Structure 1
Amino acid sequence: MMKKLLLLSAIGLLLSCANDSKNKNVTDDSTISESVNSTQLEATSSYPENVYWGDTHLHTSLSLDAGAFGNTTGMDEAYKFAMGETVTSSTGLQAKLSRPLDFLVVADHSDGMGVFPGLMNEDEFIMKTAEGKRWKKMLDEGKNTEAAIDIIGNFSQGTLSFKTNDPEMMKPVWKDVVAAAEKYNRPGKFTAFIGYEWTSLIRGNNMHRVVIYRDNGDKAGTQLPFTNEDSSDPERLWDNLESYEANTGGKVLAIPHNGNLSNGMMFAETTVSGKALDKAYADRRAKWEPLYEVTQIKGDAEAHPFLSPNDEYADYGTWDRTNLDYSQVKTKDMLQYEYGRSALKLGLKFKNQLGTNPYKFGFIGSTDSHTSLATADDNNFFGKAANAEPSDHRWDHIFMESPKGKILTWETLASGYAAVWANENTRTSLWDAMKRKETYATTGSRMKVRFFGGFNFTSDQVEGDFVKIGYENGVPMGGDLKNTNNSVPSFIVYALMDPEGGSLDRIQIVKGWANKDGSLGEKVYDVVWSGDRKLDAKGKLPSVGNSVNVENATWDNSIGATELKSVWKDPDFNPELEAFYYVRVIEIPTPRWTLYDKLRYGAKPSKDIPLTNTERAYTSPIWYAPK
């Protein structure tokens, strides 16, 4: 199947992909629908039958940095865009998703919520400050990027002369945020969660969390968001969440992100206050933070090639030079405390030491877009901020710069999405699925992935109603396997390609474990793959190939597979060791957003800039514990 680029209209950025029916391996929507339906449960089933797609991390013009970068698009447009409507971006482009999302969290920064509108209106509370006067002058002179970098730098280093959590400033803005989520929440059709981002920055090191409420506005609106001005310590955030639940009877969770920009702080072996982790800390972190945002615009944080040198897919969209504001250059000893896989391994070590795993989290992806547009599709990528919306020159924009170096916009990823297996599209059902970690992350593809663990799955069962079998005789992604008789665990893996994306290269299982001596191990297993490739002498699977035509941004789905499925048993199982397993699905290469810009606008990116991309998905783990 040849995927074809449809060039932009004069004002549009509306793309679709056409199928070439002459190819013998054509995959169309009807083929995929039949494949999905063959594995779904009856309507009366109590198991989740549908995967819902969303973005749990989107910023609008209410966020101070988003506004400074030029975002003039508000919450109404953000929700309408996610629901599939056409909206006008901050730079005047018409924008529309080829497929609407199922849910959205508008997660504007709690600190400074309302400052940017006040700045533009020249309100006294901000214009009386030296920063307000300086920023307004920059904005009036068209120096939006300089203003945004100045804002981020002063905020991250704690050098602002005014409070960013003034209740009188925050109250009306939070009221509007809650009202907008209530307005667009359509149970059963589209879920608008109430949420915000707690923007903890410690000397420029990223410790951010997105806070998501299960509740409606009658509860969520009663307590103002927690801010970095209140505290930059996650334990104080958990105090605030605990207070909210105690006062309202509601439910709330927090999702950390961008550990790759924390310079070793996100999954450290000590608390922010410098104390060794203890059981109380582990219990609280496991309770309040059940998920980790493992991929987004500012880099992928599943694995790092330094930590996983035998994993040829570990170096994807890697950001590993600095912390968030480029105030401190990164050193290699920080890396193990920043990435999802290494944190999962550290969690096993703490489980053995403390009795609780503080880093027992599932995976999701989201965008962290500051344009109000939840786009994680390479052929429809609006960038991190309004100054990086589609153009012929955005690839070489400076994303972040300091005397220690810089990051360019071409390094940003069109990533990612949160996939949630839930019973229905409602706040309660989706939130409950997130809490139990029945989720997975993708870098933008909408492939469907199933993962079950048990002790008695057989190879023939994957050809039948394996979903029913998986739930009744095992646990889904995010679950726990407890061995009672030293049986070897078996796993059902299944992936169905995105009908608008690349076909499937392979399904892998990533295993991590903790040895008796305290050392930690990992291994990546190729479980099932497309074509008739064979493992080489080193146990590695050769590449599926690359069918991308960089002259016209097309690719050929005659390589790869429509769906992949198998039952796998761990050949290296040790019943005495704590372990986790998660699935990674790899697609065939497809065009990157930089290639689309090159063809649409005549952009001339440097020769060393990648023009192709290998999309992937990461499921939440299944954990194994000895009896």
Structure 2
Amino acid sequence: MRLFTLAAALVTLLSIPAFAQDIAVNEEDIDIGGQKYSPYLYQRYPNRVFFGDTHLHTSYSTDAGMVGNRLGPNEALRFAKGEQVISSTGLPARLIRPLDFLVVADHAENLGLAPMIEESNPELLRDPQGREYHDLVKAGKGWEAYQIWKQSGATLKDSMPNPKLQANMWNRIIDAVDQHNQPGVFTAFHGFEWTSTPDLRNLHRVVIFRDDAEAARQVVPLSIFDTTDPEDLWNYLAMYEQETGGSALAIPHNGNLSQGLMFAVERINGEPVDAEYAERRMRWEPIYEVTQMKGDGEAHPLLSPNDEFADYYQWDKGDFGLNPKEPEMLPHEYARSALKLGLEQEEAIGANPFKFGMIGSTDSHTSLSTTREENFFGKFSGAEPATEARYTDLVTQDLRESGDGSLDVYHWESLASGLAAVWARENTREAIWDAMARKEVYATTGGRMLVRVFAGWDFKPDEVHRPDFARQGYERGVPMGGDLATVPDGAGGPRFMVRALRDPDGANLDRVQIVKGWLDADGELQERIYDIAVSDGREIGPEGRATTPVGSTVKGAGYTNTIGDAVLGAFWEDPDFDPAERAFYYVRVLEIPTPTWIAYDEAVFGKRDAPDEALRESQERAYTSPIWYTP
């Protein structure tokens, strides 16, 4: 009891943030009132960025293992840790630098079917449908077996309702994850993907457990055969926490393929969302996967016509092949518009259902978490670099009886994205999971740029250059994912300190922007973009924008860092702040133009089947979790 009292007193005296309770302080280290030389003895705030992938599929996902992926969780984890592996098509592969963490997020639906077929698993062969899949594959009819399996998923009927099959493969994944987890060096999380796709509309979530193998083994993954309603997933997570004493969260992804369902203001049952729904959703889904291979989901040019950077890898033809996109669906599919809708809902029902932080991840089905353009191994093993179907492979196909192909999306339209960046003190499950839960995270489209933002009421312009920038930010403000308190007397608008540093193995920076969304006095949703730092001495005009482009040095598969800046920092105070209006702010950082994976492919293999409209140059970017202001 004495240790608890002393530690609590120390936290109070030093104004340490509440989330710092992870870091232990020993009783013998505490000397209240004593002078110490080292200023870092009791430093508790997050001081490191960890990069990882929360959404990687291996051969244990049926839509990977049944269509060519031969690499299981062990190979995926070895690759993420920086080891060289041989891809499913026989190519050696390696990352430029190891990742810091990985979630093997295989689909729950018939988990591990392909490996069970490969090994002629006795339990599988006792199941009539399992026997049929096995015999077809062994007879060289693997594609036919896969199509039969896909049909069972489309009808939401489990063709192999044998709980022993799923539990066995789930435990194998747990074993591999625990084997590779090295606290302080590399974090391997237990997790899976719940693949809800009602009428082929994407409501997928990745579930991540904070806990060890003992807790994870007490459940089996929830699947689409159990339910398609996200509220049932939240019940599952609540049950897990109650029965195990552990912690879990879910990360939605690909609202652009949801046909307006991802951020709908109605529940699956058709009833309007209410405060209880909003609070439950943010309890279980604090962050959103805003960018990945199946398109970027930050903004859409039809929703943000004044944003010249909004037209970035849009996948906006429809869902997974049954229904074309309708304009009224778009506001309920993209992160920026959803964040605005959250303000409107909070005004109406008293709680915000879309108050999420933002990360990126891959959704790769190759077991290879590759996000750099020059090292992109594709969405599926059948579209790895040396394959004939690299560009012609259909990621989604027009499935309508009278379809004209307008819903087809080809692999050449894929984005080599993305990564989850997490601010924490140590590379452990607990520290990284806690950072996700408090939303102190950001997304990148594949690079490892460092981005930090703080908002407060009394920051000064020169403080962004202080060496103790972070300490000041935590003591007097809030970081990304935080909430600004009531405006102090005499304060003006909220003040932001932002720093961005280029990926040491990547491109220079073009600009740093703050994206603001708010609910105005007339009840209308608004947004505005402010350039707050730009490279190469360009000027920011009175409207808050730099109208001169950064330019480009891209030639084929090459570029130089002779334009842009390696580091950009800025102090910014909202000139249009109204203390009566709800608002959010997030930072977007843009790199200078660089070649895309298609340009690198053509440099290695020569021009093949990628059409002329395929992008060969783009600007990689990062999006931070927002900071919210609530009157």
- In the alignment, the residues of structure 1 paired with residue 264 and residue 129 of structure 2 have an alpha-carbon distance, to the nearest angstrom, of 37
Q: Report the secondary structure of 1:440's partner residue.
A: strand
Contact 2:158–2:225 (8 Å) recurs in 1: no
Q: Where does 1:525-564 land on structure 2 (aligned, <5 Å)?
A: 525-535=530-540, 539-550=545-556, 553-564=557-568
Contact 1:57–1:107 (8 Å) recurs in 2: yes
Quick one: which of 258, 261, 268 aligns to 2:264? 268
Q: Where does 1:100-139 land on structure 2 (aligned, <5 Å)?
A: 100-121=98-119, 125=124, 133=132, 137=136
Aligned residue in 1 for 2:25 = none
Between 347-356 and 229-238, the greater mean CA deviation after superposition: 347-356
Q: How far does residue 274 in structure 1 lie from its aligned partner after superposition?
A: 0.7
What is the identity, as a one-letter code, of the residue corresponding to 1:88? I
Aligned residue in 2 for 1:494 = 499
Contact 2:59–2:112 (8 Å) recurs in 1: no
Quick one: which of 603, 619, 624 aligns to 1:619? 624
Q: How far does residue 154 in structure 1 lie from its aligned partner after superposition?
A: 4.5
Cα deviations across residues 186-206 of structure 1 (Å, max 9, x unaligned)?
000000001000111111001
Pairing 1:595–2:599 present: yes
Q: How far does residue 609 in structure 1 lie from its aligned partner after superposition?
A: 1.4
Higher relative contact order (CA 8 A, sep 6+): 1
Q: How far does residue 160 in structure 1 lie from its aligned partner after superposition?
A: 4.6
- In the alignment, the residues of structure 2 paired with residue 136 and residue 317 of structure 1 have an alpha-carbon distance, to the nearest angstrom, of 41
- In the alignment, the residues of structure 2 paired with residue 85 and residue 561 of structure 1 have an alpha-carbon distance, to the nearest angstrom, of 32
Aligned residue in 2 for 1:387 = 382
- In the alignment, the residues of structure 1 paired with residue 112 and residue 126 of structure 2 have an alpha-carbon distance, to the nearest angstrom, of 13
- In the alignment, the residues of structure 1 paired with residue 296 and residue 343 of structure 2 have an alpha-carbon distance, to the nearest angstrom, of 22
Q: How many residues align?
A: 580
Pairing 1:476–2:479 present: yes
Aligned residue in 2 for 1:299 = 295
Pairing 1:585–2:596 present: no
- In the alignment, the residues of structure 2 paired with residue 161 and residue 425 of structure 1 have an alpha-carbon distance, to the nearest angstrom, of 38
- In the alignment, the residues of structure 2 paired with residue 333 and residue 290 of structure 1 have an alpha-carbon distance, to the nearest angstrom, of 25
Q: How far does residue 180 in structure 1 lie from its aligned partner after superposition?
A: 1.1
Q: Report the secondary structure of 2:397's partner residue.
A: strand
- In the alignment, the residues of structure 2 paired with residue 94 and residue 160 of structure 1 have an alpha-carbon distance, to the nearest angstrom, of 39
Q: Report the secondary structure of 2:563's partner residue.
A: coil
Contact 2:120–2:134 (8 Å) recurs in 1: no
Aligned residue in 2 for 1:283 = 279
- In the alignment, the residues of structure 1 paired with residue 103 and residue 58 of structure 2 have an alpha-carbon distance, to the nearest angstrom, of 11
Aligned residue in 2 for 1:11 = none
Aligned residue in 2 for 1:418 = 420
- For normalisation by structure 2, the TM-score amounts to 0.88
Quick one: which of 504, 522, 526 aligns to 2:527? 522
Distance 1:274 1:186, change over 3 A: same
- In the alignment, the residues of structure 2 paired with residue 136 and residue 490 of structure 1 have an alpha-carbon distance, to the nearest angstrom, of 65
Aligned residue in 2 for 1:309 = 305
Between 221-230 and 511-520, the greater mean CA deviation after superposition: 511-520
Q: How far does residue 114 in structure 1 lie from its aligned partner after superposition?
A: 2.5
Aligned residue in 1 for 2:243 = 247
Aligned residue in 2 for 1:427 = 429
Cα deviations across residues 404-454 of structure 1 (Å, max 9, x unaligned)?
321111001100000000010000000000000000000001000001000
Q: Report the secondary structure of 1:60's partner residue.
A: coil
Distance 1:279 1:139, change over 3 A: farther
Distance 1:585 1:43, change over 3 A: farther
Q: Report the secondary structure of 1:218's partner residue.
A: helix
Q: How far does residue 128 in structure 1 lie from its aligned partner after superposition?
A: 6.3
- For normalisation by structure 1, the TM-score amounts to 0.89
- In the alignment, the residues of structure 1 paired with residue 164 and residue 142 of structure 2 have an alpha-carbon distance, to the nearest angstrom, of 29
- In the alignment, the residues of structure 2 paired with residue 578 and residue 113 of structure 1 have an alpha-carbon distance, to the nearest angstrom, of 44
Cα deviations across residues 13-38 of structure 1 (Å, max 9, x unaligned)?
xxxxxxxxxxxxxxxxxxxxxxxxxx
Q: Report the secondary structure of 1:555's partner residue.
A: coil
- In the alignment, the residues of structure 2 paired with residue 261 and residue 621 of structure 1 have an alpha-carbon distance, to the nearest angstrom, of 23
Quick one: which of 45, 54, 57 aligns to 2:55? 57
- In the alignment, the residues of structure 1 paired with residue 138 and residue 455 of structure 2 have an alpha-carbon distance, to the nearest angstrom, of 55
- In the alignment, the residues of structure 1 paired with residue 92 and residue 370 of structure 2 have an alpha-carbon distance, to the nearest angstrom, of 13
Distance 1:451 1:150, change over 3 A: farther
Aligned residue in 1 for 2:574 = 570
Q: Report the secondary structure of 2:336's partner residue.
A: helix
- In the alignment, the residues of structure 2 paired with residue 536 and residue 297 of structure 1 have an alpha-carbon distance, to the nearest angstrom, of 35
Between 125-134 and 248-257, the greater mean CA deviation after superposition: 125-134
Cα deviations across residues 297-324 of structure 1 (Å, max 9, x unaligned)?
101000011110110111111100011x
Q: How far does residue 388 in structure 1 lie from its aligned partner after superposition?
A: 0.8
- In the alignment, the residues of structure 1 paired with residue 533 and residue 233 of structure 2 have an alpha-carbon distance, to the nearest angstrom, of 42
Distance 1:421 1:347, change over 3 A: same
What is the identity, as a one-letter code, of the residue corresponding to 1:317? Y
- In the alignment, the residues of structure 1 paired with residue 281 and residue 528 of structure 2 have an alpha-carbon distance, to the nearest angstrom, of 26
Contact 2:534–2:546 (8 Å) recurs in 1: no
Aligned residue in 2 for 1:81 = 79
- In the alignment, the residues of structure 2 paired with residue 476 and residue 89 of structure 1 have an alpha-carbon distance, to the nearest angstrom, of 40
Q: Report the secondary structure of 1:383's partner residue.
A: coil
Q: How far does residue 177 in structure 1 lie from its aligned partner after superposition?
A: 1.3
Aligned residue in 2 for 1:180 = 176
Distance 1:132 1:360, change over 3 A: farther
Q: How far does residue 174 in structure 1 lie from its aligned partner after superposition?
A: 1.1
- In the alignment, the residues of structure 1 paired with residue 163 and residue 494 of structure 2 have an alpha-carbon distance, to the nearest angstrom, of 53
Q: Report the secondary structure of 2:584's partner residue.
A: strand
Q: How far does residue 134 in structure 1 lie from its aligned partner after superposition?
A: 6.9
Quick one: which of 369, 375, 380 aligns to 1:374? 369
Contact 1:259–1:339 (8 Å) recurs in 2: yes
Aligned residue in 2 for 1:363 = 358
Q: How far does residue 138 in structure 1 lie from its aligned partner after superposition?
A: 7.0
- In the alignment, the residues of structure 1 paired with residue 76 and residue 387 of structure 2 have an alpha-carbon distance, to the nearest angstrom, of 25
Aligned residue in 2 for 1:162 = 159
Distance 1:192 1:134, change over 3 A: closer
What is the identity, as a one-letter code, of the residue corresponding to 2:78? K
Aligned residue in 2 for 1:320 = 316
Distance 1:577 1:559, change over 3 A: same
Distance 1:66 1:392, change over 3 A: closer
Distance 1:392 1:294, change over 3 A: same
Aligned residue in 2 for 1:6 = none
Distance 1:261 1:135, change over 3 A: farther
Distance 1:143 1:589, change over 3 A: farther
Q: How far does residue 568 in structure 1 lie from its aligned partner after superposition?
A: 0.2
Contact 1:67–1:116 (8 Å) recurs in 2: yes
Aligned residue in 1 for 2:187 = 191
Aligned residue in 2 for 1:17 = none
- In the alignment, the residues of structure 2 paired with residue 143 and residue 248 of structure 1 have an alpha-carbon distance, to the nearest angstrom, of 39
Aligned residue in 1 for 2:9 = none
What is the identity, as a one-letter code, of the residue corresponding to 2:370? T
Aligned residue in 2 for 1:37 = none
Identity %: 49
Q: How far does residue 68 in structure 1 lie from its aligned partner after superposition?
A: 1.7
- In the alignment, the residues of structure 2 paired with residue 292 and residue 153 of structure 1 have an alpha-carbon distance, to the nearest angstrom, of 29
Quick one: which of 458, 461, 476 aligns to 1:459? 461
- In the alignment, the residues of structure 1 paired with residue 308 and residue 274 of structure 2 have an alpha-carbon distance, to the nearest angstrom, of 35
Cα deviations across residues 314-357 of structure 1 (Å, max 9, x unaligned)?
1111100011x211111111111011111111111111112211
What is the identity, as a one-letter code, of the residue corresponding to 1:548? V
Unaligned runs of 5+ in 2: 1-38
